[in-house]
Amino acid sequence: MKGKLIRPAVVAAAIAGALVAGGIAYATIPDGAGVIHACYKTGQGTLRVVDTGQAQTCLSSETPLNWSQTGPQGQQGIQGQQGIQGPKGDTGPTGPSDVYSVDGYGQSHTIPGNPTLLENLATTPTLPAGSYVVQSEVEIENLQSVLSDYFCDLVDSSNNVYQEAKVTADTNTNFVTIPVQAVVTLANPDTISLECSSVSTFNSEASNWQLAAIKIGTVHS
């Protein structure tokens, strides 16, 4: 009598049912910490992996071996040689400038007809050490309509002259405008003043002066 042919699908279903019924658990290799546990048979070289999650342990004739464990930190290695310096980066944007300004708009001051006497029209606040572009301007009225020369200087507190401007007012000129500017480098904190004088025997009137010192980075000359 011939045996009945058993289909593979039926066999697989039967095995799966037996595993569920028997309560067989799935292996946890490696364990939750990522460590693989094994046992090495001393003298024979036989190696087998065990599932510690299922309380499996090595025999007395076996040596436990574990993988993926973090070992002790080794000694620091010798410092390597310094690498080649990289190329210079692009120049960054120019930062903001500090401006120290004196506004004499609407004000006036008499300049005596004395070439040896310089009249101080404006003085900046104390400037920190560094380099500055100093710009100034003043209007001077010739009160007597006579030929007169005017001199205006930019000076520090020690009367060091950084720039001087000369303007001549003839008999047909009532007002002259005198601009004075200079690049000034201060080794120590100091002030910059605008001073003017008149080469005439008559008084003149200075008005609407402006004085500003603009902090700069590097002076290229």
Quick check: 194 and 211 in contact, CB under 8 A? yes
Confidence check: pLDDT of 176 > 60? yes
Q: How far apart (Å, rounded) are the C-alpha atoms in residues 221 and 171?
A: 40
pLDDT for the residue 12: 39
- Read off the pLDDT of each residue in 54-78 and give the average, rounded to a whole number: 84
User: Which residues contact residue 166 at a Cβ distance below 8 angstroms, ignoring those fewer than 6 apart?
Assistant: 149, 150, 151
Bridge partners of 177, per DSSP, are 139
Q: Mean pLDDT over all residues of the chain?
A: 83
Residue 14 in this model has a pLDDT that exceeds 60: no
Distance separating alpha carbons of residues 172 and 147, to the nearest angstrom: 9
- Structural domains of the chain ordered from first start: 28-67 (no CATH), 99-216 (2.60.120.660)
pLDDT at 185 over 90: yes
Q: Which of 23-37, 105-119, 185-199 is modeled with the greatest confidence?
A: 185-199
Residue written as token pair 């070992």:
71
Taking the alpha carbons at both ends of the chain, their separation in whole angstroms is: 117
pTM flag (> 0.95): no
Burial class (CB in 10 A: 0-12, 13-18, 19+), 190: middle
pLDDT exceeds cutoff 60 at 24: no
Q: What is the pLDDT of residue 126?
A: 97
